[in-house]
Amino acid sequence: MELTDEKLNELKLKANDIRLSIIDALLAAGSGHTAGPLDMADIFTVLFFHTLKHNPKKPDWPERDRLVLSNGHICPVLYSTMAHSGYFPVEELKTLRKFGSRLQGHPHRDFLPMLETSSGPLASGLSQAVGMALSDKMDHGPTSSRRIYCLLSDGELESGQTWEAAMLAGKQKLHNLTAVVDRNNIQIDGYTENIMPLEPLSDKWRAWNWHVIEIDGHNMEEIADAFEAAKGIFGQPTVVIAHTIAGKGVKEFERDYRWHGVPPGSGPEDKIPKEKQAQVAINELRTLGGKIRSEHE
């Protein structure tokens, strides 16, 4: 489905609203991850508001696509997108990580049944998604229109389980599986290429018989086109390597690995004092939202 200018603008504004909700939730929680959720907001927006077959009013709809979040620590972006999609009230986001909340610090299906999986231990998500894709292929054959999407961090690709799952998916020719790698180049201890180099990353996936698409993870049209292109690939699973900017939307956070695992108010102070970090982030995102609107007008 082609993106009209009106739809494209709508998606940009929605992604900005989701980023604002991420900051609000993290601020209320006083803990959590900032960089990854902010940089994946555009991809989650395209998925939930353009690509995915899903129904917030009937989350157990049998024909829905499946979305597996492997890197569960970026759940603020999943929760925020689900809330803005209508799965639960946006106000509930401020219960993130609170005792008794449905919105745990890592997604927990027992608390929030509309999730497809619980996640936390890195590198297990692709194995889960491969199992879903394989069972769907066995049940419905090549005619099934359901797709399985798996979101991965680049840092978790350092774990061998990911590549075992990738091998199996390639062997089984799981054309109904699309993996998305958040290639933001950071992890909690530093930059991925310093800690455990991943390049040549696309060649690794091709070696296991995956179709590879590389995109700008902040270009809505490229994101949507990649997901649409994946639907036309047969005999192979598809991986979308999305080149993103960690902390996207707040320039003082961007590309800084120190924002991987801390919320505003607990981040590095060399650019913004801790007591001003949340307000700076909110002001920048509100300004960006106004800019998007004025550009469309």
Pick the range with the lowest mean pLDDT from 55-64, 159-168, 173-182, 288-297. Answer: 288-297
Q: How would you list the strands of the sheet with 66-69, edge to edge?
A: 66-69, 148-153, 177-183, 238-243, 211-216
Q: Residue 257 corresponds to which tokens in the numbers above?
A: 């690995």
**pLDDT attached to residue 274:** 96
Enclosing domain of residue 229: 5-296
pLDDT digits (tens, 9 = 90+) for 236-285: 999 999 999 999 999 999 999 999 999 999 999 999 999 999 999 999 99
Identify residue 137 by its one-letter amino acid code.
K
**pLDDT at residue 142, rounded to an integer:** 76
- pTM score of the predicted model: 0.96
Q: pLDDT tens digit string along 26-78?
A: 999 999 999 999 999 999 999 999 999 999 999 999 999 999 999 999 999 99
Per-residue pLDDT of 70-92, as tens digits, reads 999 999 999 999 999 999 999 99
Chain mean pLDDT for the chain: 95
**Nearest alpha carbon to residue 237 among 187, 185, 162, 182:** 162
For residue 2, pLDDT beyond 90: no
- Per-residue pLDDT of 196-241, as tens digits, reads 999 999 999 999 999 999 999 999 999 999 999 999 999 999 999 9
Query: Could you say which DSSP state residue 50 is in?
Result: I
CATH of the domain at 259: 3.40.50.970
Token pair in block for residue 29: 């929680």
Could you tell me what percent of the chain has a pLDDT over 70?
Answer: 99
Number of domains in the chain: 1
